[in-house]
Amino acid sequence: MKRRELIKSIGLGVAATSMLPEWLLCWSEQKLIPSDIFDNNQKNQLSIIAGTFIPEGVEKGANGVGVGKFLDVLFADCFTLVDQNKIKESLLEVDAMAKLQFQQTFSESTQPQREKVLANLATSANHKWAADTLRNETIRGYTTSEYVMVNYYHYVMAPGFYHGCVTV
């Protein structure tokens, strides 16, 4: 093997292993950097929708682990502009439906009222994709959060432990 190829492969191996731990980590609310795709009202509404799907109880719900922030970053980084506009339209529609049905905004509505509005959004032909996406990504965000991965799935980044001083 030539020296240059050897140095390239060693350098690539070192770079890959130094980045590997960052790829293996779960996400947490403190690690997320907010996007500028959604305004503060829309970000708040994403959090409320996530909290409606997975409410707080004895254990942390979606808002407790920061799924709203996760959705904000996910939609900004991983979805096309067309899909982002569909999400924004559905957020406006959620508010309009709540005002029409309950004479108050979505954020002012109670949990059962919000559930009813989201169920109606899912049956709407124009907003079915957005409603399904919001629900699915909320569930994915919650189940892949650091809190759930560590406390429920007992996730360990590198399983197996090194015990250097063991009698043989």
Assess if residue 131 is contained within a domain: yes
Instruction: Give the H/E segment covering residue 77.
Output: helix 67-78
Residues spanned by the domain of 85: 25-151
Answer for the pair 92, 117: CB distance below 8 angstroms, yes or no: no
DSSP helix/strand/coil, 37: coil
Q: How far apart are CA 10 and CA 130, in angstroms?
A: 46
Question: For residue 89, what pLDDT is reported?
Answer: 93
pLDDT (tens place) for every residue of the chain, 168 residues total: 577 777 777 776 666 666 545 544 555 666 667 677 888 999 999 999 999 999 998 889 999 998 998 999 899 888 999 999 999 999 999 999 999 999 999 999 999 999 999 999 999 888 999 999 999 999 999 998 888 888 888 877 666 766 677 676
Give the Cα separation of 58 and 60 in Å (integer).
7
**C-alpha span between 45 and 49 (Å, rounded):** 6
**Total domains present in the chain:** 1
Task: Extract the tokens encoding 73.
Answer: 């970053």
The reported pLDDT for the residue numbered 15 is 63
Helices (H), 25-80: 40-53, 62-65, 67-78
Asked whether residue 8 is domain-assigned, the answer is: no
Per the CB < 8 A criterion, the answer to whether 70 and 32 are in contact is yes
156 within domain boundaries? no
pLDDT at residue 24 in the model: 47
Residue 168 is assigned to a structural domain of this protein: no
Tell me whether residue 3 is in a domain: no
Predicted TM-score (pTM) of this structure: 0.74
Q: Please count the other Cβ atoms lying within 10 Å of the Cβ belonging to residue 3.
A: 7
